[in-house]
Amino acid sequence: MNAEPDDEIPASGWEAPETDASQPDTDPLAKLIQELLSVMPEEIRVRLTEALSALIEALRALIDWVLAKLERSAEPAPAVRDIPIL
């Protein structure tokens, strides 16, 4: 049996190798978005950004509304008593 060289094991155990932050993003979706934004006129880019911001705000409001409704439905129903009608 051959012993493995010690320089293959990182000093802190089996940590992942560090990545260089200067390397470009390799995500295909991110590349596509960057390309689309680079060929888009500035006015359309601004309008698209504003529309996306409004959409995100609407989604957040919808989520808040649903959560509030769920919290209200989780509360027990108030105690009621029958009042006889004479």
- Residue-wise pLDDT tens digits, 40-86: 999 999 999 999 999 999 999 999 999 998 888 777 777 888 888 87
The predicted structure's pLDDT at residue 41: 93
Domain-embedded: residue 80: no
Region of 24 on the Ramachandran plot (φ > 0 left; ψ -120 to 50 alpha; else beta): beta
Domain-embedded: residue 51: yes
Domain-embedded: residue 54: yes
Domain-embedded: residue 32: no
Q: Range of 53's domain?
A: 42-73
Q: Give the amino acid at 32.
A: L
Domain-embedded: residue 69: yes
Q: Which is higher by pLDDT, 21 or 70?
A: 70
Domain-embedded: residue 79: no
The predicted structure's pLDDT at residue 34: 87
Q: Structurally, how many domains does the chain consist of?
A: 1
The verdict on pTM exceeding 0.75 is no
Domain-embedded: residue 20: no
Domain-embedded: residue 13: no
